[in-house]
Amino acid sequence: MPIFVDRRLNPKDKSLGNRQRFLKRAREELKRSIRDRIRTGKIADVDSEHAVSMPARGTGEPSFSDAKDSGRRQHILPGNKHFAPGDRVPKPGQGGGGSSPGKTVSEDEFRFVLSREEVLDLFFEDLELPDMVKLNLKEILSFKPRRAGFAATGSPTNINVGRTMRNSHGRRIALRRPKQEELDAIAEQLAILEAEPQSAAPARQRIAALREELERLERRRKRIAYVDPVDIRFNRFDAQPVPNANAVMFCLMDVSGSMGEREKDLAKRFFVLLHLFLKRRYDRTEIVFIRHTHEAQEVDEETFFYNTQSGGTVVSTALEEMRRIIEQRYPSNEWNIYAAQASDGDNFVTDSERCIGLMDGQIMRLCQYFAYVEIIDERESHIFGSTDNGTSLWRAYSVVNQRWPNFQMSRIANAADIYPVFRQLFARQPVLQKSA
């Protein structure tokens, strides 16, 4: 008699520790891979699983092994069809149909999948987010159970007694389950008959008939249960996502010639971070991309990041466009509106006044939050520091910043500077819920 052990319920993921160790070892290369993906992929796709190829450095397992291209050796192979001793077979070239053994894909050339959590960990790494924020962003939408009718299966705690008894009653009527009263009546009759001393034949027959009837009814009662499993109904619950309003995120970016690869890369991360935040808070988030030079237009993500356009810089056109789109498609009583703007700060001097006007007049009233980053050269960062003088757009927005608490602005030179722009957003979450 063998011993049986059921291990299926043992804790899963026994290899998780090893997996983490491996990822840690390959961290640098994985990070680069994630960064490439952010550069080339879509903003909305960042927080999902991601296949990466096996990092080459740091994960090799060397050992002494024979060099394939040296010496003399023999291969013993099965399936000879027409060879005779002395026949010569040309060696296969690179990738040719192989006759030499050992042609399987090596373990070092494969791609594997990082989970969403692992991708986000790598993405957050040089953004220097506080841990609390990281946790918040990784959290998946919460669900609330909501009553949704009845079900024939469920856990005992969810039994709906009313429904169950109603079904039971119907079934008992349909199958004509004898009632207790009927039984009692017959038993009473029997008792009366038996109590009488005389034993006339018809009376005895009557007693026997009654007994039989009583027995039949009792058997029937036993066969037809009072409450049968088929009667039982359970309350059914649906996992309902916690109701959230919709959000729309406007990405505004200056695409004139002065925005180079580095600037666009930083801008993209800025947008990704805001999008992650919105995606966590809202059921449905949409993204609108508006690019501008001296004129603005709504474009798709591809065009937004990869097409360059020549022209001057008139920021107010983008704001106008944004306002127009809000009016047309995103009524502010239905949508939470967020905006993120990235620019190098260049603007026509006369236009900056117009921007202040637009912001004060309409846009800031419509927006939940408006974040502006000015991407500057790393060498410039220590010159500007926190001074208020700077580009014309910076000076204009400084005015807006003083009047509106939901406006944030910052100069960023590298990825770690991005987070402070959002600090407020993450700090006071409940207040931001719109009372629509």
Partner 1 sequence: MASQTSKSGQTSKAGQTSKSGLLFSGSDWDFKTLSRAYEAIEAIAIEELHLDIYPVQMEIISSQQMLDAYSSVGMPLMYRHWSFGKHFLYQELLYRKGGRGLAYELVINSNPCIVYLMEENTMALQALVTAHAALGHNHFFKNNHLFRQWTDASAILSYLDFAKGYIARCEERHGVAAVEAIIDAAHALMEQGVFRYRRPPKLSSERQREGVRERLEYEERSYNDLWRTLPRSKDGTKASGTDLGIAERKKTLKLPEENLLYFLEKNSLVLEPWQREIVRIVRIVAQYFYPQRQTQVMNEGCATFVHYTLMNMLFDRGLISEGAMLEILRNHSNVIFQPGFDDPRYSGINPYALGLDMMQDIQRISTEPTAEDRDWFPDIAGNGNWRETLLDAWANHRDESFIRQYLSPALMRKWRFFILADAASEPHYEVASIHNERGYEKIRAGLAQSYDIGASRPDIQVVDVDLLGDRQLRLEHKVKNGITLEEAGRDATLRHIRTLWGYEVSLAAIDAQTGGTLNERSTSQIGE
Residue of 40, 100, 350, 414 that binds partner 1 (CB under 8 A): 100
Instruction: Select from 126, 182, 213, 228 the one that contacts partner 1 (CB under 8 A).
Output: 228
Q: Determine if 57 is a binding residue for partner 1 (CB under 8 A).
A: no
Given a contact cutoff of 8 angstroms between Cβ atoms, the answer to whether 123 and 137 are in contact is no
Q: Which tokens hold the place of 166?
A: 């109603």
Closest listed residue to residue 340, CA positions, set 233, 221, 421: 421
Cβ closest to partner 1, residue 80 vs residue 402: 80
Place of tokens 């397992």: 61
**Residue 339 backbone phi and psi in degrees, to 5:** -135, 140
Residues 127-156 that bind partner 1 (CB under 8 A): none
Q: Where are the alpha helices (DSSP H) in 175-240?
A: 180-195, 201-223
x/- track of binding to partner 1 for residues 65-84 (CB under 8 A): xxxxxxxxxxxxxxxxx-xx
Q: Rank residues 172 and 292 by Cβ distance to partner 1 and give the closer one.
A: 172
Question: Toward partner 1, which CB reaches closer, 25 or 423?
Answer: 25
Of 19-27, 295-303, 386-394, 417-425: span binding partner 1 (CB under 8 A): 19-27
Instruction: Return the number of the residue (18 or 155) whose C-beta is nearest partner 1.
Output: 18
Residue among 94, 95, 96, 111 that touches partner 1 (CB under 8 A): 111
**For the chain, how far is it from start to end, CA to CA, in angstroms?**
70
**Do residues 307 and 217 make contact, with C-beta atoms less than 8 angstroms apart?**
no
Residue 275 contacts residue 340 (beta carbons within 8 Å): no
For partner 1, how many residues bind (rule: CB under 8 A)? Answer: 71
Residues between 297 and 336 that touch partner 1 (CB under 8 A): none
Q: Using CB under 8 A, which of the segments 58-66, 288-296, 321-329, 339-347 binds partner 1?
A: 58-66
Least distance between partner 1 and beta carbon 221 (Å): 13
| Residue (76 or 242) nearer to partner 1, CB | 76
Three-class SS state of 339? strand
**CB burial readout 413-425, b (16+ within 10 A) else e:** bebebbbebbeeb
Nearer to partner 1, 2 or 385 (CB): 2
Are 252 and 167 a contacting pair, CB within 8 Å?
no
Residue 1 in the binding site for partner 1 (CB under 8 A)? yes
x-or-dash pattern for partner 1, window 175-214, by CB under 8 A? ----------------------------------------
The only residue of 59, 258, 308, 414 in contact with partner 1, by rule CB under 8 A: 59
**Pick 109 or 131: Cβ nearer partner 1:** 109
Please tell me whether residue 7 binds partner 1 under the rule CB under 8 A: yes
| 3-state DSSP assignment of residue 270 | helix
> Does an H or E element contain 272, and which?
helix 261-281
Rounded to whole angstroms, the Cα distance separating 326 from 322 reads: 6
Report if residue 379 touches partner 1, rule: CB under 8 A.
no
Which of residues 6, 131, 139, 181 is near partner 1 by CB under 8 A?
6
| Residue 402 burial (CB count, 10 A) | 9
Backbone angles phi, psi at 99, to 5 degrees: -110, -15
Measured from the CB atom, the residue of 51 and 141 that comes closer to partner 1 is 51
* Pair 152, 292: CB distance under 8 Å: no
Q: Which of 57, 87, 95, 387 binds partner 1 (CB under 8 A)?
A: 87
> Of how many residues is the chain composed?
436
Closer to partner 1 by Cβ: residue 112 or 306: 112
One residue of 95, 96, 102, 243 binding partner 1 per CB under 8 A = 102
DSSP 144-185: EEEEEEEES---GGGB-HHHHHHHHHHHHHHTTPPPHHHHHH
- In this structure, what token pair is assigned to residue 219? 């058997």
Span interacting with partner 1, options 91-99, 120-128, 280-288, 361-369, rule CB under 8 A:
91-99
Q: Quote the CA–CA distance of 417 and 267 in Å, as a whole number.
A: 11
90 lines the binding site for partner 1 (CB under 8 A) = yes
Q: Pick between residue 101 and residue 385 the one whose CB is nearest to partner 1.
A: 101
Range 410-429, binding partner 1 (CB under 8 A): none
